């Protein structure tokens, strides 16, 4: 009877050690993934000022294109004044 209890204690201890090792491996994996995520976040933070600059440039180009349509109308009136009268 004592041998059965000893066997069950050893088996239970082995299960606890196996579960502990599994949890340890999973925590290492999670830690590695968190480090990767933090690295990606820092890279994105480094790129944000450049992205904001590009967005400002695009917004400025939009204003320029809107002004170009007005300039085009003025030029067409100046170059072909008779077209507006016909």
Render pLDDT for 55-82 as a digit per residue (tens, 0 to 9). 888 888 877 777 777 777 777 777 776 6
Asked if 78 and 71 touch (Cβ cutoff 8 Å), the reply is: no
Looking at residue 79, its pLDDT comes to 77
Cβ–Cβ under 8 Å, residues 46 and 53: no
The set of residues, in sequence order, having a beta carbon less than 8 Å from that of 83 and lying 6+ positions away, is 76
Q: What is the dihedral of CA 44, 45, 47, 51, to 10 degrees?
A: 100
pLDDT at 83: 63
């Amino acid at each position: 009877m004592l041998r059965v209890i000893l066997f069950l204690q050893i088996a239970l201890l082995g299960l606890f050690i196996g579960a502990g090792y599994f949890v340890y491996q999973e925590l290492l994996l999670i830690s590695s993934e968190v480090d990767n995520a933090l690295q990606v976040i820092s890279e994105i933070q480094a790129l944000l000022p450049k992205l904001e600059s590009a967005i400002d440039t695009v917004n400025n180009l939009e204003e320029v294109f809107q002004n170009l349509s007005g300039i085009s109308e003025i030029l067409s009136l100046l170059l072909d004044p008779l077209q507006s009268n016909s």
